[in-house]
Amino acid sequence: MFYILEEDKRLARQRIAQLEREILELGPEFHIALNQSNETWHDNAPFDALREKQALLAAELQNLKEVLKKADITLPKPQKGKVNIGSRVRVMLKGKVQEFLLTGHWTYRLGNEIDKALVITCQSPLGQAILGKKPQEVVTLPHNGQQLQISAIK
């Protein structure tokens, strides 16, 4: 199973469209790079730079298409009163309240804050530790042994 939130699918589709436009827009730049230099195409630094940029854009485009292709159509049925994919989770960690948005296996927003909640994936150590847990449960993080308490689930 490979889960992605609908918002992340939408963002990936937007980025795919943007990448496709950027790749198409390189055409005139290639024409200019080939025609403004006295050098042959294999000694043309502007041409090489464009070719490298095109390769990077194409690689990102291919990766995003693969991510969407392998994503399950729907998310698993949410378990009432437990942390699910898509949950906003408030925890107590080291005496501080922190909030997380638990996404699927892939997100374009990883590490960003959305409405003061840090975006994490369900396969991160923290995500794996809190997935399926209930409010007031104490969870020990496997990678460092720290304990946290789940305060609330939204």
Give me the number of domains the chain comprises.
Answer: 2
Query: Is the pLDDT confidence value at 9 over 90?
Result: yes
> Both 46 and 97 in a single domain?
no
Determine, yes or no, domain membership for 33: yes
pLDDT at 42: 61
pLDDT, tens only, 122-149: 999 999 999 999 999 999 988 888 899 9
Question: What pLDDT is stored for residue 44 in this prediction?
Answer: 75
Q: Do 10 and 65 belong to one domain? A: yes
Distance CA 149, CA 119 (A): 18
The answer to whether 103 and 86 are in contact (CB under 8 A) is yes
- Provide CB contacts within 8 A for 126, sequence distance 6+: 100, 120, 141
Query: What CATH number should be reported for the domain holding residue 143?
Result: 3.10.50.30
- Can you give the residue range of the structural domain that contains 105? 88-153
